[in-house]
Amino acid sequence: MMVGLSLDEKFRILELVGVECHVVKSEDEALAAFKNLLGRTEVLVVDEDLYEKLSQAMRREIEDARKPPLIVVIPSFRGPRRVILKELRKAISKAVGVELVVFKDLL
């Protein structure tokens, strides 16, 4: 089952393609919903705005999960924030032991 979690009502558009959407009003409510969904879903779709606010808390919760979901981060409806690109650059830099330099217009 694919589930979506967002702070934005526009996110409900994903229901047209079969995503069960949960739109919450606060970060605390979003984290509670995330914890509740952990054992229930295989794929969790979140927008960049919510992911940017809760990524650390999500990671902590996933560490203890027996079967964590695949988290798919999509651009928010306000436009892409490139949060994932920044995290990917950090992870690759750490893996290769060299700080990667990225053109500012990409991030």
Q: What is the CATH number of the domain that holds 21?
A: 3.40.50.10580
Residue span of the structural domain in which 35 resides: 2-76
Residue 59 lies in a domain: yes
| The pLDDT of residue 6 is above 60 | yes
Residue 47 lies in a domain: yes
Task: In whole angstroms, give the CA distance from residue 28 to residue 88.
Answer: 26
Would you call 82 exposed, middle or buried from its count of C-beta atoms within 10 A (0-12, 13-18, 19+)? middle
Q: How confident is the model at residue 12, as a pLDDT? A: 94
Residue 83 lies in a domain: no
Residue 46 lies in a domain: yes
Q: CA-CA distances (angstroms) from residue 59 to 35, 38, 56, 68? A: 11, 12, 5, 10
Q: How many domains does the chain have?
A: 1
Residue 3's CB is within 10 A of a number of other CB atoms, namely 20
Q: How confident is the model at residue 105, as a pLDDT? A: 55
Q: How confident is the model at residue 16, as a pLDDT? A: 94
